[in-house]
Chain A
Amino acid sequence: MKKVLATVLTLAMVASMLTACGNGKSGESEKKSEGVMTYAEYDAAALDSEVTIEAYVQAHQSWWDNKITVYAADKDGAYFLYEMACSEEDAAKLTPGTKFKATGYKSEWSGEIEITDATFEIEEGNYVASPVDVTKFLGTDDLQKYQNQLVSFKDMTVSAVSYKNNEPGDDIYVNFTKDGNEYYFCLEYYLNGDDADFYNMVGSLEVGKVCDVEGFLYWYEGPNPHITKVTVK
């Protein structure tokens, strides 16, 4: 009986660990406010349906025209809020970790699952996600499960670097190879903001260099991570 019990407990523990780690999440799902979807409910929601989420700002692109594009996460998954209505004053409050509640519409644009036409309110709370190493999922369908999360890729070899407009001042496209396959990354100009040092560092990456890369797993007709950190080995 003890053996059976031990086996069951062990299996339960392993199963719970696998569940918790399956998407690189902490396993500490937090209770949502009244009327707010859990990440699982959001994930299951139909496209074009109204969604209300609670999440924490991880980063955002530069504010403009009373709109802001936010990379957000809770402890179960991540969200991309495209051009959320936001005053300049509120934009200053959306620092990494800030908790907010947003209501908008679940949408898809070239494979990127996002929330559009959203409004939001700031709440009490703070959480900054750690990057999840998804290197082993490159080239697999499983990678898409991590869409919009802060992820990392290890030992990626630079294969091409180009500016969107063939000169500095806009996005930088960086291609990396891993195990013979090429992947397309992007330094999003508006996400990078005024970090000139990082911009210049990425722009001057040399083909053949091996790097560890972090970024938000954006999607455009396939994985297209928005780079936030590069460590040249």
Chain B
Amino acid sequence: MRKRMRFMAALLSAAIMTLLSGCHGSRGLDDFKIPEEFDVSRSYEITFWAKNDNNKSQQDIYKKAISDFEKIYPNIKVNMRLYADYGRIYNDVITNISTSTTPNVCITYPDHIATYMSGINIVVPLDDLIDDPRYGLGGSSVSFDSPSRAEVVPEFLGECYLGGACYALPFMRSTEALYINEDLVNALGYEVPDILTWDFVWEVSEKALDKDSSGNYAVNGQKVLIPFIYKSTDNMMISMLKQLNAGYSTDDGQIEIFNDTTRQLLGDISSHARTGAFSTFKISSYPGNFLNAGQCIFALDSTAGATWMGSDAPLSDIAESNKRTFNTVVRPIPQFDTSDPKMISQGPSVCIFNKEDPQEVLASWLFAQFLLTNDIQIAYSETEGYVPVTSKAQDSDEYREYLSLSGSDQNEHYRIKIEAAKLLLDNTSNTFVTPVFNGSASLRDAAGALIENVTKAERRGTKVDDAFIDKTFSDVRSLYKLDSSLSGAMKKDSMGPMPRASVILLWSLGLVWVFISAVYITRFIKDKKKDN
């Protein structure tokens, strides 16, 4: 059963402040330097914080990976802590940075790494490790069949670069997909094109709102219909702006989202919220719940949620009696220019935290690298609509066979799941990511909040006009502390009051100086008296 995610923003804020304040005057750990030799005579115990999608198969794959790794490196013990959402990992990492108790290896998002890097030498840069001839990717002293750097999909590895250095390895990749009830589209007199435009989705969604004499929606015969539901409204705004080459942010953190194109998009979206043609996960619920009940035509969700989508979905939160039978088709997200499709690349990456002992860091790196081996990549990707991040896995006979068996059963080879994965495999070159900087996670939240705000307003009878959008821009800018630039970390006034410990320390230092001065002056006066 799934439920609303809860990102512990306040704790995060507090923790970020702690992290940042903890760094006042601190020089942090030394730069990590690769040891000449991995010392196998010693034992290491490393901690791995992993994220799964509430999916037991994924948890089992992590456990098997650890077991297999410990057989290869019996001197390395891996302790795993499982999380169900990235927000909690983010929160816990930040909290643990301030106490120097970070995990060794952690599943995370580059946006989050940017915040972790507010500390000094917290996250290990991986370029040297990746290219190390002995312990790097495909290195000669690595005791398992590791992929080479060239075998990591370049687009995915490129997403792990922050400020010119690589701070993570991609682990899995997904994108978003439009899961469509084709029967309802056809019933409205349309055919589903290979790539849908936003105009097409809006037009069909509006047409679907016609009701019959008994007050039911004519197209599905039910009292409930939300033709178009978007799960992640931050992705929705980001993707629309990208497709229109409109401003979102610069690479160095200049905020550009509050622009005329955004204003126009919010106007369009709100007009469809007003009619009831559009809603969001936060307002209504999971798109898949409505899709599977025949109450949604266009459900837009991650390819990593494909096993919840469609009338034969192996996972579902709705009662069997509420499910409807229909043909589900999977398409890329709607586009403004179908000749130049653009879709977001997302999915977990793996970073390594620095420690005092470089041997421990090297042990961590070996485990992180192990997560890119074929067995793990293929097995994990098959749990959802993920794709492996290495060409070595993607091109393997095992993975090719898996794809070829699409639809042969309703579980491992569930058609919708494999079509979702193929969508990304076929469109890897059409994916994009947003710039990563300290504060980019806030900007992402703000992008979604803009859509949520106008959608709620229209549902509640408030007209979304220029004045409303002006106010929304202002409110969101303020709520998410978005100045024109977030790069360079938090503004001084956003640091909050200085921690008590720091205040005491500063006062102590001041008192010591007063004491020293007093002693010096006293001695000076005594000496003067003696001289006299």
Contacts and interface: CB of A to CB of B under 8 A. Distances in A.
Nearest to A49: B460
A166 B82 contact: yes
A42 interface: no
Contacts of A165: 52, 54, 82-84
Nearest to A105: B460
Contact of A107 (B8, B59, B283, B461): B283
Interface in A198-225: 220-222, 224
A171 interface: yes
B456 interface: yes
A221 B8 contact: no
A190 interface: yes
Contacts of B284: 108-109
Nearest to A165: B84
B456 A117 contact: yes
Contacts of B83: 165
Interface string A123-155: 000000000000000000000000000000000
A50 interface: yes
A50 B82 contact: no
A30 interface: no
Contact of A164 (B84, B289, B317, B460): B84
B318 A66 contact: no
Contacts of B9: 64-65
A197 B430 CA distance: 52
A107 B282 CA distance: 11
A171 B2 CA distance: 11
Contacts of A222: 319
Contact of A48 (B13, B84, B459): B459
B4 interface: yes
A171 B5 CA distance: 12
Interface residues of A, number: 26
Contact of A65 (B8, B286, B319, B460): B8
Interface string A98-120: 00000001011110000001000
Nearest to B56: A166
Contacts of A105: 456, 460
A171 B3 contact: yes
A55 interface: no
Contacts of B54: 164-165
Contacts of B460: 48-50, 105
Interface in B55-74: 56, 59
Given A107-B283, A109-B285, A164-B54, A64 B4 contact: no
User: Lowest 6 CB-CB distances: which A-B pairs, in order?
Assistant: A65-B10, A65-B9, A110-B285, A48-B459, A165-B84, A64-B10
Interface of B: 1, 3-4, 6, 8-11, 13, 52, 54, 56, 59, 82-84, 283-286, 289, 317-319, 322, 456, 459-461
